Copies of this chain bind each other. A is one copy, B any other.
Amino acid sequence: MRLVIARCSVDYIGRLRAHLPLATRLLMVKADGSVLIHSDGGSYKPLNWMSPPATLRITEPGADDAEAGVVEVWNVQSAKTDDKLVISVYEHLSDVAHDLGTDPGLIKDGVEADLQRLLAEQITKLGEGYTLIRREYMTAIGPVDILARDAAGATVAVELKRRGDIDGVEQLTRYLELLNRDPLLAPVRGVFAAQQIKPQAKVLAADRGIDCLTLDYDEMRGVDDSASRLF
């Protein structure tokens, strides 16, 4: 990784066009050829960037650019698309390089997949006498998160979200419509389960005859003994 603090202007031409006027910024060149241009604020998103795989070619400025004060032109070319990033460097303020090697990567806990695993294991959270049919039940329009059977033997489709939004209810509605065309499964009821369910989503779910279930991840995690094995 090479880190250059420089006064520069930037032009991007690709899926859109974008321009950065002359200012002092950080230029980060990664081992895979990707380049990130960061300012001293904002968030984790750079002002501009080139995704890998890419190649950086540093050239002398043309006569006009040199006249304007440009000392180097960085041409960053995407290897797969014809996206191009042109960085005009006016002044180097700092320049360091280090080989970081490959990163072991991030270990996550608490995403939808974990919630789904826990609910499948603790299927009676849905109600007394429920049994799991299967997780990720495939249909023509995508996988139903959890398919279960209630105490009376009726099929129940569960859509699971970390945050229960209106489009989650839409998604479950589409699944229910499809599943109810299958005479072997019909009638199929819907349950919308999430850690938090927004009021609008609750209203829409009620309107569609879909039950809502708010899940307590920490509590479910506490019951699961594999949680302690994660770190």
Interface residues of A (CB under 8 A from B): 1, 3, 5, 11, 15-21, 23-26, 28, 30-32, 34, 36, 38-49, 51-52, 93-94, 96, 98-111, 141-142, 167, 170, 200, 203, 230-231
Instruction: Give A111 Cβ to nearest chain B Cβ, in Å.
Output: 6
Instruction: Give A47 Cβ to nearest chain B Cβ, in Å.
Output: 6
**B5-A100 in contact (CB<8A):** yes
What 5 A-B pairs are tightest by C-beta distance, nearest first? A16-B110, A39-B103, A40-B100, A31-B40, A44-B49
On chain B, the residues within 8 Å of A23 by CB distance are: 100-101, 103-104
Given contacts A17-B230, A43-B34, A103-B39, contact A98 B94 (CB under 8 A): yes
On chain B, the residues within 8 Å of A24 by CB distance are: 98, 100-101
**B103-A47 in contact (CB<8A):** yes
**B25-A103 in contact (CB<8A):** yes
On chain B, the residues within 8 Å of A94 by CB distance are: 96, 98
Partner of A52, one of B28, B41, B230: B41
**Most chain B Cβ neighbours within 10 Å, of A104, A142, A230:** A104
On chain B, the residues within 8 Å of A93 by CB distance are: 98
Partner of A44, one of B25, B51, B203, B230: B51
A101: nearest residue on chain B (CB-CB)? B24
Q: In the bound complex, how far is the Cα of B141 from the Cα of A200, in angstroms?
A: 7
**A18-B108 in contact (CB<8A):** yes
Partner of A100, one of B20, B39, B44, B48: B39
